[in-house]
Amino acid sequence: MLQTFVLILQDYEEDPEEDPVADSEEDPDEDAPEEDPAEESSDRMPPTFRASKMPRFESDDIARLTWESKWANDRIEHIAQELRDVNARYAELCSVVQGMESHIVHLITRVQEEHRADIAEGRLIALEEQFISDVDEEEEEE
């Protein structure tokens, strides 16, 4: 290293206008062949472009998206209202059905109480008829 420094000093003494430090460092661009920027080289990486992270929208895109958003919100509100109406109607129908069931049970109980004697007599008559038919069958077999 000391020898290199001495050589640089000697060269400097010979030509004081030249910079010895600049001469000692080699410029890598001087040795490299000149490349045409229009020509694509497989050795070089393609240029990278930095896109902004926020997408750019045109004003008509923004207006269209705003309109679609409002339309979708209105549609959602309309469907939600329809669903609330259907649920209310379902609750009303459930109430009507429960009322009908209780009314039917009440009517059946009332009919049974009013016609208990008739029902019992009807059952008695049916039993008598069955007994008579059974007796008739036994007589025919004998």
Q: ∠ CA 135-137-142 to the nearest 5 degrees?
A: 95
pTM of the shown model: 0.39
Which range is least confidently modeled, 63-67, 85-89, 112-116? Answer: 112-116
**Are 11 and 18 a contacting pair, CB within 8 Å?**
yes
When pLDDT is cut at 50, 70 and 90, the band that residue 91 belongs to is: very high
The pLDDT value recorded for residue 5 is 47
For the chain, what percent of residues have pLDDT higher than 90? 32
Whether 98 shows a pLDDT value over 80: the answer reads: yes
Q: What is the pLDDT of residues 30-78, one digit of tens each?
A: 555 555 555 555 566 666 766 666 666 688 888 899 999 999 999 999 9
Q: How many CB atoms lie within 10 A of CB 117?
A: 8
